[in-house]
């Protein structure tokens, strides 16, 4: 959480930083700030969005070629002007921005207070700049050395940038556990939490690794380890297009990303699936094929929506590849001392590739000998780099906080993996394999069909916009979709929603049903069809309002439901790729009708880089 941006070069830093912070607002948006070097150090901080900060920055301060900026998602200390970053040292000469959590900040703070340091904020971050200052005071060393020594005392996660009034040609950055990318321009450098603030200026980037410090001085970049050993940075070429991080005519990123799904899934399948040749391949799986075929168990670890994709994977891999599957919340798995064997494969699913719990879970599993396979969206992200192998979902940047195209991208990759493994293990016949890859190839067109007529979803959203609760029910492959539908609704519209396996309703949630309760049944025609009809009857008998997602042309559920949304028919194992789309749209339109900020819902951030 939190977005950080820094610039050093020939241009004015301020507009670059502000634009960059707006691109990073998805990471947190409860306060923002900048520090600029113009004459002396000038710091401006404001509670609220970056746009509110803009009004408070004095014009003369903006004439600076060196600056750092921060957009915050509060952990320690409430969102207010004082707790906003940058934080400055006691003498007012040093400034820091920080993304992460300093776990031992309290003990460091107490020690520094005993030495006379006075703290202004309640944050953990402020302690770092006081520590750097204290080291500078006591050792006649360079700023770079002081930062390095300070980081050696810190426990926790950080991506930081530090600047000093005493050296206007220097910016120092470092990371451990929180992402940091450095853009290399012509005599200029950009530092950011991800590549989106950089892409407009340069394609050449260095992803800083954990325990690395970047010293950018006099037009030169030096990367060192925290032990002071010089490293040779690898320069990556960014392939991201600028349009992919803009709204492209849509009112919100979320809606744009929902509508991008036919394309994002085609991009995900491109070069991997050629239905007419019965060809399906994931390069990342190739070198580990023996591990996959011999694996006794696949353990999927993830959080939030990515965890729901993991639940879909449980059905896919058990059904198609006949392998034992466990699906774990990364935050529980990492602390549970789980039994992990060497022939277990741990599949980490993460859009951002930066989720702290998922990253820690795979590090723990790796240390116990498991093979790690990453399914990520963000290229070069921490989880993708910490994995032994993996497959990107190629969905393009997902900026809306509510995950949409990343979910369908994850499910697409997981489906391909299950099909490849099923064929290899012989649990799937060649004929069935061919049928399924033909069906998978058709998914983008079928999603397009759903998106071409959203009138029924809009009507339902209008009808139920004032509902206080929603229940989402599904069976089999559509149970994870029920969970995902409920999560989408609660995170952007703030309506309480629960997802359940439809048959579980009788064991408790049925008590909630009355004439005010909308119940969304994800009920396309599949092997659970007859059973779900009974569940619908149970809701109707208690006067609940039935909203059903049904297969086109289906009559029974259509006739017994109060509202229906039709989706095209597909193979049962591919249904989540279609049935999730109307639920994304439903949450979007309900939230819009309620006047909610769908791209930046309250209390949430896109990347959860703290545990």
- Choose between 95 and 497: whose C-beta lies nearer to ligand M6R: 497
200 DSSP assignment:
T
Looking at the Cβ atoms of 90 and 193, the one nearer to ligand M6R is: 193
User: Phi-psi region for residue 483, left (φ > 0), alpha (ψ -120 to 50) or beta?
Assistant: alpha
| For ligand M6R, the closer CB: 344 or 599 | 599
**Which residues share a beta bridge with 177?**
158
Residues sharing a CB contact under 8 Å with residue 593, sequence separation 6 or more, in sequence order: 461, 462, 465
**CA distances (Å), origin 185, targets 158, 191, 238, 244, 452:** 25, 11, 13, 21, 42
Nearer to ligand M6R, 188 or 357 (CB): 357
Which tokens in the block code for residue 532?
Answer: 């779900």
DSSP reduced 3-state for 535: helix
Shortest distance in whole angstroms from residue 357 CB to ligand M6R: 8
Binding residues (CB under 6 A) for ligand M6R: these are: 303-306, 350-352, 355, 358, 401-403, 487, 491, 604, 607-608
Asked if 505 and 473 touch (Cβ cutoff 8 Å), the reply is yes
Cα atoms found within 13 Å of the Cα of residue 228, Cβ hemisphere only: 9
Q: Apex CA 281: angle with CA 278 and CA 286, to 5°?
A: 140
CA distance 411 to 395: 12
- Name the minimum Å distance from CB 27 to ligand M6R: 11
| Least distance between ligand M6R and beta carbon 609 (Å) | 9
Q: How many CA atoms lie within 13 A of 308 on its CB side?
A: 26
Nearer CB in complex with ligand M6R: 181/548: 181
Has 2 been annotated as catalytic?
yes
Nearer to ligand M6R, 87 or 606 (CB): 606
Whichever of 73 and 189 has its CB closer to ligand M6R, that residue is 73
**CB 305, min distance to ligand M6R, A:** 3
φ, ψ at 591 (rounded to 5°): -65, -40
Active-site residue (options: 2, 268, 573, 596): 2
Query: CA 17, CA 61: separation in Å to the nearest integer?
Result: 13
426 phi-psi bin (left φ>0, alpha ψ -120 to 50, beta other): left
Closest contact distance (angstroms) between CB of 461 and ligand M6R is 18
C-alpha atoms less than 13 angstroms from C-alpha of 41 in its C-beta half-sphere: 22
Beta bridge pairs of residue 520:
472, 547
Q: Is 291 a catalytic residue?
A: no
Identify the active-site residue in 22, 176, 490, 606. 606
Position closest to ligand M6R via CB? 304
Burial call 301-333: b when 16+ CB within 10 Å, e when fewer:
bbbbbbbbbbbbbbbbbebbbebebebbbbbeb
Active site residue ranges: 2, 606
């Amino acid at each position: 959480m939190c977005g950080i941006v820094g610039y050093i070069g020939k241009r004015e830093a301020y507009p670059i930083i502000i634009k960059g912070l707006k691109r990073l607002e998805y990471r947190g948006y409860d306060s923002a700030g900048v520090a600029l070097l113009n004459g002396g150090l000038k710091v401006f901080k404001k509670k609220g969005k970056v746009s509110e900060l803009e009004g408070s920055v004095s014009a003369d301060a903006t004439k600076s070629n060196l600056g750092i900026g921060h957009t915050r998602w509060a952990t320690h200390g409430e969102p207010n002007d004082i707790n906003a970053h940058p934080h400055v040292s006691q003498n007012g000469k040093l400034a820091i921005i920080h993304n992460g959590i300093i776990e031992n900040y309290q003990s460091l703070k107490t020690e520094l207070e005993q030495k006379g340091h006075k703290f202004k904020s309640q944050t953990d971050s402020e302690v770092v700049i006081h520590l750097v200052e204290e080291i500078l005071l006591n050792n006649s060393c360079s700023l770079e050395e002081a930062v390095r020594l300070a980081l050696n005392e810190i426990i926790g996660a950080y991506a930081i940038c530090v600047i000093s009034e005493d050296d206007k040609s220097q910016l120092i950055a470092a990371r451990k556990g929180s992402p940091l990318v450095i853009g290399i321009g012509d005599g200029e450098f950009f530092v950011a939490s991800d590549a989106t603030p950089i892409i407009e200026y340069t394609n050449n980037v260095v992803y800083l690794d954990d325990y690395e410090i970047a010293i950018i001085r006099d037009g030169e970049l030096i990367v060192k380890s925290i032990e002071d050993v010089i490293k040779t940075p690898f320069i990556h070429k960014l392939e991201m297009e600028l349009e992919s991080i803009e709204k492209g005519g849509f009112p919100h990123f979320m809606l744009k990303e929902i509508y991008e799904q036919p394309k994002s899934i085609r991009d995900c399948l491109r070069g991997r699936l050629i239905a007419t040749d019965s060809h399906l391949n994931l390069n990342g799986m190739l070198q580990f094929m023996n591990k996959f075929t011999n694996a006794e168990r696949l353990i999927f670890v993830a959080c939030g929506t990515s965890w729901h994709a993991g639940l879909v994977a449980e059905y896919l891999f058990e059904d198609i590849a006949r392998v034992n599957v466990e699906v774990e919340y990364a935050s529980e798995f990492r602390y549970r001392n789980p039994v992990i064997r060497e022939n277990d494969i741990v599949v980490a699913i993460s859009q951002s590739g930066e989720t702290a719990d998922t990253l820690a879970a795979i590090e723990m599993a790796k240390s116990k000998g498991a093979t790690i396979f990453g399914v990520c969206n963000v290229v070069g992200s921490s989880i993708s780099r910490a994995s032994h192998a993996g497959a990107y979902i190629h969905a393009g940047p997902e900026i809306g906080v509510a995950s949409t195209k990343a979910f369908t991208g994850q499910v697409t990759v997981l489906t391909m993996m299950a099909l490849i493994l099923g064929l290899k293990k012989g649990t799937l016949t060649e004929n069935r394999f061919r049928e399924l890859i033909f069906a998978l190839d058709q998914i983008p067109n079928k999603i397009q069909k759903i998106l071409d007529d959203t009138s029924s979803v809009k009507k339902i959203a209008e009808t139920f916009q004032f509902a206080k609760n929603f229940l989402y029910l599904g069976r089999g492959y559509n149970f994870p979709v029920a969970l995902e539908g409920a999560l989408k609704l609660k995170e952007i519209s703030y309506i309480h929603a629960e997802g359940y396996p439809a048959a579980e309703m009788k064991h408790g949630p049925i008590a909630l049903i009355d004439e005010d309760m909308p119940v969304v049944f994800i009920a396309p025609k599949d092997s659970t069809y007859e059973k779900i009809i009974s569940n619908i009857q149970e809701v109707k008998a208690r006067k609940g309002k039935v909203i059903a997602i049904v297969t086109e042309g289906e009559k029974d559920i259509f006739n017994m439901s109060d509202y229906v949304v039709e989706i095209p028919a597909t193979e049962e194992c591919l249904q989540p790729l279609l049935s999730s789309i109307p639920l994304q749209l439903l949450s979007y339109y309900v939230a819009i009708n309620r006047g909610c900020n769908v791209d930046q819902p309250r209390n949430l951030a896109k990347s959860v880089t703290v545990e």
